[in-house]
Amino acid sequence: MRIALARESAPGEARVAMVPELVGGLITAGYELAVQPGAGQGAMITDDAYAAAGATITEDALQGAELIIGVQPLPAELVAGLPPGTATLSFLPYTQDLEAVRIRRDARITSFAMDLVPRISRAQSMDALTSQAMVSGYRGAIVAAGMLHQFFPMSMTAAGTIPPAQVVVLGAGVAGLQAIATARRLGAVVKGYDVRPAAAEEIASMGAIAIDLGLPPLDGAGGYAREMSEERALLQQERLTPYLAAADAVITTAAVPNRKPPILVTRAMIERMKPDSVIVDLAADTGGNVEDVQPGTVTRIGQARVWGGANVPSQLPGPASRLYAQNVANVIMLMTADGRFAPDPADEVVAGMCLTRDGMITHGPAAILIDDTALIDDTRGQPR
């Protein structure tokens, strides 16, 4: 039974879905891993390292593969040429690319989306959104520290005392808490804000100060946040402004599932910030938490510099790949029975991740979006 590791073709994607350290486990489970030459290049993993771990290196890796693994979805032209029944496992954010789902349905591909792993405790070791958000949060704090023309830690020397940097982190989920922890380790004074009340305790446990804006909580389903009303968004912006004005660096990480990220920081708020302050927006890829942020670019707004993240986990391809590959290996093991690749459609995790099978769209929300375009919000391409 062959698992294929295809070269990533998406521009700027440096991560890889399998690392040599985990190849032995797949072989023991009864698989052959076929790797396309150069597949690990972005993460500095050589073909020789895969071969030494027991993988086969071949341009024809996809031929005869039962399962094809990747970080980004396999391009449409490759999917169309796969035999029906072939399975793919990668990120597949269907709300951003409904056509990719249609193509998989029509080619009778069994497609599993790593971004649809249910957030239940049994699936934590497979949760790639969490592992990659963790990498992103770390990177966000390091970028802020690198851009700021100041020290993060307080330094008391014979020549005088340098005060610590003041950092504000907005959104304290996986990425935000990692950004807080990293900024704290670097010695900054950190304040954090999230709309979920449970986050306050987590912020404090990282050694940071939880900001209380005196606004009602916005807890949603499954530990996620809910969308804000226009009125609440304005109040939140108004009450956050003095915290931002006192900050040297701001890191934004806020998201709401299946929605465009909320605008937390407006141009007017940035105008009030100190000269040469820095904002790192980790949500820039999907629209951003900062007004007018550009992914992959540093923009000057007022006297601040705003860094827009673009595929941020890919900027640390080594650890991001190591963690993602472990998530993938754990999914494969869940889908292996009696030495065969045999995903059980009745398993909650398998069912949750499955987008298409046997020529059908098996994920309810994706099926609704594709078969009933009246439900698509034209301005965002998201479910209403």
Question: Based on CB atoms, which residue is closest to ligand NAD, 51 or 256?
Answer: 256
Q: Are 167 and 189 in contact (CB under 8 A)?
A: yes
Looking at the DSSP bridge assignments, the partners of residue 168 are: 191, 250
How far apart are the C-alpha atoms of 146 and 248, rounded to whole Å? 12
Residue 94: CB minimum distance to ligand NAD, A: 17
**Region binding ligand NAD by CB under 6 A among candidate stretches 11-19, 172-180, 304-312, 350-358:** 172-180
Tokens of 40: 């690990």
Q: Measured from the CB of residue 252, what is the shortest distance to ligand NAD in angstroms?
A: 8
Give the DSSP letter of residue 225. B
Residue 351 to residue 164: CA distance in whole angstroms: 49
- To ligand NAD, the closest distance from the beta carbon of 227 in angstroms equals 8
Least distance to ligand NAD from the beta carbon of 259, Å? 9
The residue (of 4 and 143) whose beta carbon lies closer to ligand NAD is: 143
3 state SS of 367: helix
Of the pair 215, 337, the CB lying nearest ligand NAD is at 215
Site string for ligand NAD, 271-310 (x = CB under 6 A): ----------------------------------------
Q: Which of residues 252-271 bind ligand NAD (CB under 6 A)?
A: 253-257, 262, 264
103 binds ligand NAD (CB under 6 A): no
Binding residue for ligand NAD, selected from 130, 166, 178, 241, defined by CB under 6 A = 130
Other C-beta atoms closer than 10 Å to the C-beta of 380 total 13
Interface with ligand NAD: number of residues (CB under 6 A): 30
Out of 12, 146, 217, 223, the only residue in the binding site for ligand NAD (CB under 6 A) is 223
Three-state SS letters, 255-298: CCCCCCCCCCECHHHHHCCCCCCEEEECCHHHCCCECCCCCCCE
- Between 138 and 193, name the residue whose CB sits nearer to ligand NAD: 193
Residues 180 and 138: their CA atoms lie apart, in Å, by: 8
Q: Cα angle vertex 88, ends 82, 91, to 5°?
A: 135
Other C-beta atoms closer than 10 Å to the C-beta of 160 total 7
Give the x/- contact pattern for ligand NAD in 177-216, rule: CB under 6 A: ----------------xxxx--x-----------------
Instruction: Report residue 194: phi and psi, to 5°.
Output: -145, 155
Binding footprint of ligand NAD on the chain (CB under 6 A): 119, 121, 124, 127, 129-130, 133, 170-176, 193-196, 199, 223-225, 228, 253-257, 262, 264
